[in-house]
Every structure is written in C-alpha cells, then in structure tokens.
Amino acid sequence: MNKDEIKGKAEQVKGKIKQGVGEMTDDVDLQDEGAVDEAAGKLQEGWGTTKRKTGEAVEDLGNAIKK
C-alpha cells in the first residue's frame, strides 16, 4: 500500500465515525460531512491503488524487457 491508499482508508474511517456520531446526536450536518469524508477517502484510496498498479505494470514491463 502507498500513502494515498493509507490516507484514503483513514479518511473513510473518519467519515464513518462522523456519520455514527451524527446519527447518535441527530446532527444531520455531521452525518453529511461524514459521508463526504468517506467518499473522498474512497476516491483517494482508488487513486493510490491506480498509482500502485501502474507502477507495478511498468516494473513488470521493465523486467520483461531485461530478459
């Protein structure tokens, strides 16, 4: 995992916590903020995964060329 994937996971957890607290306190704004944080975290994690897989593909290609 790279930094973007880790930060994305953390953002998702933060969002879920905010949503839970918002539900317990009937704070709709906090629930919405949590949903936004969770969605942003998913995007960041996806971006990190894409970067990692692209790097792995380039590395594999380089190894194949060396053979």
Residue 32 domain boundaries: 3-66
Sign of CA dihedral 51, 43, 46, 3: positive
Confidence category of residue 66, pLDDT binned at 50, 70, 90: confident
What separation in angstroms does the CA of 47 have from each of 2, 10, 20?
A: 10, 14, 26
Counting the structural domains of the chain, the total is 1
> What global pTM score does this model have?
0.85
In the prediction, which pLDDT does 67 show?
Answer: 76
Instruction: Give the residue from 5, 19, 15, 12 showing the smallest Cα distance to 48.
Output: 5
pLDDT tens column, 11-22? 999 999 999 999
pLDDT tens digit sequence for 9-50: 999 999 999 999 999 999 999 999 999 999 999 999 999 999
What long-range pairs does 49-54 form, CB within 8 A, spacing at least 24?
Answer: 49/5, 51/2, 51/4, 52/1, 52/2, 52/5
